[in-house]
Amino acid sequence: MNEFMTTEAATTGIPPPRAAGAKRNVWSWLNVWSLGTVLIAAAMTVPILAVLIIGLTPGDDIWSHLASTVLPGYISTTLGLMIGVGVGTLVIGVGTAWLVSTCRFSGRRLFEWALLLPMAMPAYVIAYVYTDILEYAGPVQEVLRDIFGWTLKRDYWFPEIRSLGGAASMMTLVLYPYVYLLSRAAFMEQSVCVLEASRILGRGPWRSFCTVALPLARPAIVIGVSLVLMETLNDFGTVDFFAVGTFTLGIYDVWLNMNNVAGAAQLAGVMLFFVVFLMLAERFARRKQRFHTTTAKLKALPGYQLKGAPKRFATVACALPVLFGFLLPAMVLGGYAVTNFDAAANAEVLRHAGNSVLLSSVVALLALGIGVFMAYGVRLRKEKIVTFVVRFASLGYAVPGSVLAIGVLVSLGGLDNGIDGFMRRNFGLSTGLVFSGTIAAVTFGYLVRFLALSFGSVEASLSKITPNMDGAAASLGHGPFSTLKRIHLPLIRGSALTAVIMVFVECMKELPMTVILRPFNFHTLATYVHQFASDEQLGEASLAALAIVGFGILPVIVLSFAITKSRPGHSTEEPTS
């Protein structure tokens, strides 16, 4: 592998010329990859298409009613939330990633992994915890009332946690790690040469960051922020609890209260087109740019030794997100778990934990396999049709979970009943439901929803490998599979691990799809917590909630160390300066 790593080639962005001798071989592989990619991607798009088709079925017109009443509010609230969470996660995620990747200050080694911890905290859980602390009846306001002698609400002003700002803060606190994770990986993969060149040419650290490092990390940052925005857009638990009227809340309202699933699917379709529009706009904005790394001279990042005020600032800036996104809520949950130990601790929780971990692990590995296959399929042949189907397949993340679950229900129900009908007609036997209401249905649902995570991070990582590598491999007689195995996989292993763990953690927290698709008598930790939390009795499920966080943390920490090590030439020793 090393001989490839030290290959220094000029970047052109032009696909590699195919070696004549390898031509036939290459073509036969190409067919398999393209066809396989399209087929897998198509299977993943079925539930999304099903949602759009449900939207086309005739039903009561909801648009005139919504437009004249709540729709403008849904739109402005949703945009406000997206801007709040987008800016918040961007600043915290990129800022802290840059600090821990390139600067030296107290606690940096700790923050490298601790900054990821809030990722394991489900947004609806943290929302519940902060409401308990900050609402009118919570300890903070109680203490204030005691100190200042206020008695009633009208006596003073205190920010309302159950508000747009509150929801944006909660989501920022648990979602910034996505941006942190992806931008840190990008900073780690950057060649120090370009930064040194920038410094030699007279730019200070701040301008080097803004004009060199940041633009180079743009694809990764964009993926991080767009994952965050999609998560924000389709959140139900937090906005429902805070009574913040977003578009997604409107979808649920039309579906469940107006009993109009077609109208809900139409709204979901509109939201989907909005997401597609945003993605296309971003792609268009960087259409002429290439991000391949052409040098592999990756010595340890320099590490600017911070001193004085900047040093203290860096420590505080990294500590705050960990404190508010993880430590404080985890301590509150821990407190609940202690007071409710008898109710919260039982053998069931252990069994549910087993279900959660097993299901999440299997889905994470499957998602990685499919993500790599599809991303590589796209890379091999930039066929418009392949690219289109694959992009469409990764839109599942932008559809609210419950709505997507209906898509899965309808697709699998159709398939099952189709098979059953066929068998009845031709063989006189009934197969019943093969997939519906089984773990397979839940697994499929998770894959459709979280494929974007694995595909996105693998694709971003592959995009940084110059096509010259593929060309060199082909000219040495290696087919695509061999090239993937020997060149690409080792190069993208950091991102692949990131992908696996992101999907794992998301599956651990997943709620809306599991609730709708699961088999009889089946719980995950999240559904177990939900049945209590939905009745505002989180105390009784606090141990299970902590377990979600606990099982999520372990792989997150592993991931962090792996990223640090993934940088060729990066030493874990502090450089002496």
The footprint of other proteins (CB under 8 A) covers 60, 65-66, 69-70, 73, 136-137, 151-153, 160, 162, 241-243, 245, 252-253, 255-259, 261, 339-340, 343, 355, 358-359, 361-362, 402, 405-406, 409-410, 412-414, 416-417, 420, 430, 432-433, 436-440, 443, 512, 515-516, 518-523, 527, 531-532, 534-536, 539-540
What residues have CB less than 8 Å from 112, skipping those under 6 apart? 100, 560, 564
Tokens in use for 493? 């292993």
We find the least distance from the C-beta atom of residue 522 to other proteins, in angstroms, to be: 5
Q: String of b and e for 80-94 (b: at least 16 CB within 10 Å)?
A: bbbebbbebbbebbb
We find the least distance from the C-beta atom of residue 380 to other proteins, in angstroms, to be: 27
Question: CA torsion angle for 522, 526, 532, 536 (degrees, to 10)?
Answer: -160
Q: Please say which residue, 416 or 510, places its beta carbon nearer to other proteins.
A: 416
Amino acid present at 572: T
Q: Please say which residue, 531 or 571, places its beta carbon nearer to other proteins.
A: 531
Q: Please say which residue, 90 or 451, places its beta carbon nearer to other proteins.
A: 451
We find the least distance from the C-beta atom of residue 533 to other proteins, in angstroms, to be: 11
Q: Please say which residue, 188 or 410, places its beta carbon nearer to other proteins.
A: 410
Q: Please say which residue, 51 or 374, places its beta carbon nearer to other proteins.
A: 51
What residues have CB less than 8 Å from 35, skipping those under 6 apart? none
Q: Please say which residue, 177 or 237, places its beta carbon nearer to other proteins.
A: 237
Q: Please say which residue, 200 or 429, places its beta carbon nearer to other proteins.
A: 429
Give the Cα separation of 440 and 83 in Å (integer). Answer: 37
Kindly state the DSSP code that residue 435 receives in the 8-state scheme.
S
Indicate the burial class of 181 (C-beta count within 10 angstroms; 0-12, 13-18, 19 or more): buried
Kindly report the backbone phi and psi dihedral angles of residue 573, in degrees, each rounded to the nearest multiple of 5, phi listed first.
-75, 145
- Give the CA count within 13 Å in the CB-facing half-sphere of 52: 13
Give the Cα separation of 40 and 286 in Å (integer). Answer: 28
Give the Cα separation of 503 and 541 in Å (integer). Answer: 24
We find the least distance from the C-beta atom of residue 71 to other proteins, in angstroms, to be: 9
Tokens in use for 213? 């490092």
Q: Please say which residue, 524 or 564, places its beta carbon nearer to other proteins.
A: 524
Helix spans in 522-573 (H): 525-533, 542-566
We find the least distance from the C-beta atom of residue 403 to other proteins, in angstroms, to be: 9
Give the Cα separation of 93 and 87 in Å (integer). Answer: 10
Question: CA torsion angle for 102, 105, 106, 110 (degrees, to 10)?
Answer: 0
Beta-bridge partners for 103: 304
We find the least distance from the C-beta atom of residue 137 to other proteins, in angstroms, to be: 4
Give the Cα separation of 254 and 472 in Å (integer). Answer: 56
We find the least distance from the C-beta atom of residue 406 to other proteins, in angstroms, to be: 5
Q: Please say which residue, 229 or 516, places its beta carbon nearer to other proteins.
A: 516
We find the least distance from the C-beta atom of residue 417 to other proteins, in angstroms, to be: 5
We find the least distance from the C-beta atom of residue 554 to other proteins, in angstroms, to be: 18
Q: Please say which residue, 178 or 255, places its beta carbon nearer to other proteins.
A: 255
Q: Which of 543, 556, 514 is nearest to 237 (CA)?
A: 514
